[in-house]
Structure 1
Amino acid sequence: MPASSAVLVKKRHQFTTIATLVISSILLSACSGSDSNNNTPVEDLVGDDVRRLILTDIGDDIFMPALRDFSAKAQTLDLAVTEHAGSPTDATLKNAAQLAWREAMHSWQYLEPLQLGPAGLSTGLDGTRGGADLRSDIYSFPLLNTCTIEELASNDLSVSEGSAANATGLGALEFLLFNEQSDPCSLGTPATAAQRANYAASAALRVHNVADDLLQRWEPDGGNFLGEWNTAGLTSEFYSLPQNALNALSVALFYVDKATKDVKIANPTGIGASDLPACDTISCPERLESRLSGSSGDNIQANVQVFYDVFNGVDNGRGLNDLLRGIDRDDLADEITAELDAVLEHLDTMQPQFDLAVEAITDADACINGTANPGPEAPAACALHGYLKIAMDTFRGPIAASLSLAAPNSAAGDND
């Protein structure tokens, strides 16, 4: 097990103070359809105009900077892994490729809970308007087949546009760059360092290309999905009402409940969740999201941070909490903010860091009690689940009801 990694990228929006909105006249059931004017005082806007204003701030201040950041990080990763492939036994070049992967992964994890539009699914229960399935070409967690990757590399094959999602992307790159076993799949004739590096270079190129494609589909001078988002209820082809865009955002944010809380925390800690296999041992560290790099906790932090930012806004912009304040639910806005603060503060101060904290769980009962009553005396990884569950219960319960937000169809009837 490699040594745990430090958080390389601090919270990009460190507990941003929200821009206070006084929208006492907001009508969440209204469908005004009137054109939103950026010069109009916020207090003069009601109903759909307020929703659209908040959607615009989320699009301009959260989606676009994050997409641009990941595109740049993916390019750096591509260059670093290509250099590593040119001299696969050079430790300095491999370390540089690992660092580039960490930075690209952290950048992507901020986008993971925002799987709508081109990143989202095009079909299925949770298919989204404008979905183009691009996320799975970048990162397919929890789907990953390391032995398929090893076999493809040993046969001098490479990633292409038609490659299976479970054999490429950031997950495959973690295996190729951080695995220290000479024959991890008992192939007899495993891939050499050069073969793994070459396969990694093709995977990094693919991630770079898809990252650029995703960004261009959002850019105003490209596919302009941002324009579709910002004009919901006016000229948008995909969102006939601003509430429809808010519902797409809500469905995406359930990732933090169902993937971050359940799959990334409950699953490896042994706490368990519905539709996930129970641990045969006290905990299951092998189910950690990024065990090889020791960065599972960093991933969780980025997931929670973007959730926080969508609610509180960034750079003096507005977020979903402003909708709550507009209907006199300051209590819920304050509650979700305090609960998310508790999660992020716990992640910042966890000793040991999350990946090692999962390894350190020795008492299943103490873990269950720790998630029910999170605090300094509880096992750290189990307390993290408890803190996040408190916040997600507030989101999926009173907040979703107050703002009439949709839940994923795939989560219907799920009360975890």
Structure 2
Amino acid sequence: MALKLKPLLIAASVALILSGCGESTSATAGEGHAGHVTDNQGGNGNNGGTDGNNTFDQTKLIESLVDNVITPTYQAFDTNVKSQPALLKAYCDLETAYDPALEDQQAKDQLNEAKLNAQNAWKETMVSWQHAELMILGPLSAQRKTLRNNIYSWPAVSTCSVDQDVMFFYAGEINGNDYDIAKRSDKRRGLDALEYLLFNENMGHSCSAASAGDALSDWDNKTEQARKALRCQFAVAVAEDLSETSTQLLYQWAGEDGYANVLKQAGQPGNKFATTLAAINEITDALFYMTEELKDYKLATPLGMFSNSCGTSVCAQDVESIYAKHSIENIRANIAGFEKIFTGGDAENTGFDDFLDDQGATDTKEIMLKGIADAKLAADEVENLQSALTTDSASVEKTHAKVKDVTDQLKNDFINKLALELPQTSAGDND
């Protein structure tokens, strides 16, 4: 199968670089909207943070989100991803040694258990990553999301490329050069490649005759068991590469000069962000994953609301995580990630709900909290997204509608009440 590339609306981070002689973590609101600041107050009308009588500590909000939500989310992913190589190796050692001709039921049971352990570890890792998908900023958004895509490149996937690299890895070289997975494209690496290797039960390669190339010329001559062994051996390499990439993420995020400190020091001299509100705006830009990727590509596209692989009709084959049948779990995790950022993780921590209260926008806060709760309930009613699309599409449509209720508030009242700006890709989106 040739490269499968779906459209991806990437929310562009908007850094509001303001001139002025100083920066305060609070400001006085004026006319027009909460947080309004006139130019003679040292800004460009977009570094406000109070309702006129009260002050809101924007630095405290940033610190809360970084320390209580984003950093723990990245750390949870790192913990999960680092458990995978050992589990995959344990499974792969059994898969490589297994001889189906011996009809050894005990060996088969041990093999199946080891594979299930590896698959469950992938699912736990994927859930933790789907939380992080609402927090794509800093090192994850840099260089056209290179680091993010090396971890998870969906919706740009190519199972044919993965099949080819199974054999390149086995051969140990490509065109006379030593094989190095770290130098391979993101579509041959990451959680999506690992899903295909672990969950796809079809041992035929997915390339067309024209795209298979010499790498797969001998694939069809191998036994099914030999193919399983080759795939699992490459899966171990993919898991080890993921672990290294996660280490890079933590270093670039939480190191002494990491992006976490850049955000927390927003507004200080020499900082990338001239104002705290500019840093907050970058965090909210990441929340728009819920609009483009979640609402539009994970739900509307397979529902046939946008063009898909089936034309414009319901298309179960276009769901995310199709091999692991983990699509609705990913969606639930995305909504949970959004909620973490919105609330600061729990009631004790400062979140955007507190910012809205301070701006006199408690009504918007309550509407969004109810919208999040309704979206969670709707997603919980869908047991399996692929099946529901064909047998109970109304439940998927309901989930889409409830997610849209949240994103409508995000694009309008939330942004306006907090004097923030829409990401460029959402500025003209009125759906």
Say whether the fold is shared (TM-score over 0.5). Answer: yes
Q: Decide whether aligned partners of structure 1 residues 149 and 290 sit closer, same or farther in structure 2, where only a CA change above 3 A counts.
A: same
- One-letter amino acid of the structure 2 residue matched with residue 100 of structure 1: A
1:185 pairs with 2:206: yes
Tell whether the 8 Å contact from 2:304 to 2:314 is kept in structure 1 after alignment. yes
1:149 pairs with 2:165: no
Identity %: 25
Distance 1:140 1:296 in 2: 15
Q: Decide whether aligned partners of structure 1 residues 171 and 159 sit closer, same or farther in structure 2, where only a CA change above 3 A counts.
A: farther
Distance 2:390 2:84 in 1: 29
* Structure with the greater alpha carbon radius of gyration: 2
Alignment map for 1:26-37 (pairs within 5 Å) = 28-29=35-36
Q: Decide whether aligned partners of structure 1 residues 44 and 57 sit closer, same or farther in structure 2, where only a CA change above 3 A counts.
A: farther
Aligned residues: 354
CA-based RMSD = 2.5
Distance 2:27 2:275 in 1: 21
Alignment map for 1:151-300 (pairs within 5 Å) = 151-155=164-168, 156=170, 160-185=181-206, 189-190=219-220, 192-219=227-254, 221-235=255-269, 237-272=271-306, 276-277=307-308, 279-280=310-311, 282-300=313-331
- Superposition deviation, residue 222 in structure 1: 4.1
- One-letter amino acid of the structure 1 residue matched with residue 69 of structure 2: I
Distance 1:24 1:348 in 2: 41
Of the candidates 63, 67, 78, which is equivalent to residue 60 of structure 1?
67
Match of 2:421 in 1: 406
- Look up the SS of the partner of 1:134 in the other structure: helix
Alignment map for 1:78-117 (pairs within 5 Å) = 78-88=85-95, 89=98, 90-117=111-138
- Superposition deviation, residue 78 in structure 1: 2.0
Q: Decide whether aligned partners of structure 1 residues 109 and 406 sit closer, same or farther in structure 2, where only a CA change above 3 A counts.
A: same
Distance 1:32 1:66 in 2: 35
- Look up the SS of the partner of 2:157 in the other structure: coil
Deviations 1:320-367 (A, max 9, x none): 1211111111100000000110001122233x4333212325xxxxx6
Detail structure 1 runs of 4+ shifted over 6 Å in the superposition: 23-27
- Look up the SS of the partner of 1:317 in the other structure: coil
Match of 1:122 in 2: 143
Of the candidates 309, 325, 336, which is equivalent to residue 357 of structure 2?
325
- Look up the SS of the partner of 1:140 in the other structure: coil
Deviations 1:209-264 (A, max 9, x none): 11111112222x54432211111112563212111111111211111110001000
Distance 1:277 1:61 in 2: 38
Match of 2:151 in 1: 138
Tell whether the 8 Å contact from 1:265 to 1:381 is kept in structure 2 after alignment. yes
1:359 pairs with 2:390: yes
- Superposition deviation, residue 399 in structure 1: 1.2
- Look up the SS of the partner of 2:182 in the other structure: coil
- One-letter amino acid of the structure 1 residue matched with residue 78 of structure 2: S
Deviations 1:46-104 (A, max 9, x none): 35xx1111111000100111111111101001221222222225222211110110011
- Superposition deviation, residue 412 in structure 1: 3.8
Of the candidates 46, 58, 62, which is equivalent to residue 55 of structure 2?
46
Distance 1:236 1:262 in 2: 38
- Superposition deviation, residue 184 in structure 1: 4.3
Q: Which has the higher contact order (CA 8 A, sep 6+)?
A: 2
The structure whose residues are more often helix, as a share, is 2
Match of 2:376 in 1: 344
Distance 1:281 1:414 in 2: 20
Distance 1:310 1:271 in 2: 28
- One-letter amino acid of the structure 2 residue matched with residue 345 of structure 1: L
Match of 2:12 in 1: none
- Superposition deviation, residue 305 in structure 1: 0.9
- Superposition deviation, residue 310 in structure 1: 1.2
Q: Decide whether aligned partners of structure 1 residues 208 and 45 sit closer, same or farther in structure 2, where only a CA change above 3 A counts.
A: farther
- Superposition deviation, residue 281 in structure 1: 6.5
Could you tell me the TM-score, scaled by structure 2's length? 0.76
Tell whether the 8 Å contact from 2:36 to 2:419 is kept in structure 1 after alignment. no
- Look up the SS of the partner of 1:292 in the other structure: coil
